[in-house]
Amino acid sequence: MKVTKIAVGMLAATLLFSACKQDKNSQADAVVTGSDAATSDAETPAPIPVESIVYINSDTLLTKYEYFKDVNERLKAKAEKTEKGLRNEAEAFQKEVARYQQTGGGMTNEQRANTEERLAQKQQMLQMKSQNAGNQMAKEESEEMKKLYDRVEDYLKKYSDEKGYKMVLTYSRGNSAILYSDSTLDVTSDVVKGLNEEYTAEKTAEAEKKETKKK
């Protein structure tokens, strides 16, 4: 689905951005500063230990993250409902045009002109309605994807602090700067597990909140 394809690329970019920010912070911490420095020349930042660098497979993350799957299904269902409604209106319009083509010969010039004007206006309205629906869906997709990126980035910050990681890279087959990496650096499963546990807890709390309101 289009939503999935867009999300893969944009999520990968978000993860890379997050990784770069962490990298810059770690490099800034490594620079020696202060009035007691022996020389005025800036020292070269110490390299980040390999053990502090891990990566995530963004493709796997998106296929196994329950939050993304729920969002994807919700957007897909809404898009299909909208498309069905537009298709029904388009079919009804085509039938109306067909009737005019069959009966137009018996109309006066004025009747034909009025009918054609009405049909033209209706066609324009349907086209505008379709365009607006597409724009609305794109807006909703963008908003949902932003929520997704925020959730992943927030979790990665906490996860990196707990594990002592300085950099989190992202890997996507066929679209990655990482050509090879040791599989021991792959923390995708661990991250997905943590993300799903957080999401499950959120859904449980929301369901309990709704039950309390009913009572």
Residues of the chain with pLDDT under 50: 1-10, 12-42
CATH number of this structure's domain 2-214, picked from the four choices 3.90.1530.10, 3.50.50.60, 1.20.58.100, 3.30.910.20? 3.30.910.20
- For the chain, domain boundaries: 2-214
How many helical (H) and strand (E) elements, i.e. helices and strands, does the chain have?
A: 5, 2
pLDDT of residue 31: 38
pLDDT of residue 8: 45
Q: What is the pTM of this model?
A: 0.70
- pLDDT per residue over 29-76, tens digit each? 443 344 444 444 445 665 555 568 999 999 999 999 999 999 999 999
pLDDT of residue 45: 60
Q: Are 56 and 171 in contact (CB under 8 A)?
A: yes
pLDDT of residue 105: 87
pLDDT of residue 181: 81
Q: Computed from CA positions of residues 144, 142, 175, 52, in that sequence, does the dihedral angle turn out positive or negative?
A: negative
pLDDT of residue 44: 63
pLDDT of residue 16: 45
Q: Which of 118, 137, 130 is nearest to 89 (CA)?
A: 130
| Encoded tokens for 200 | 């499950």
pLDDT of residue 173: 81
Give the C-alpha distances (Å, rounded to integers) separating 149 from 7, 16, 28, 198: 9, 11, 25, 15
End-to-end CA distance of the chain: 40
186, β-bridge pairs:
55
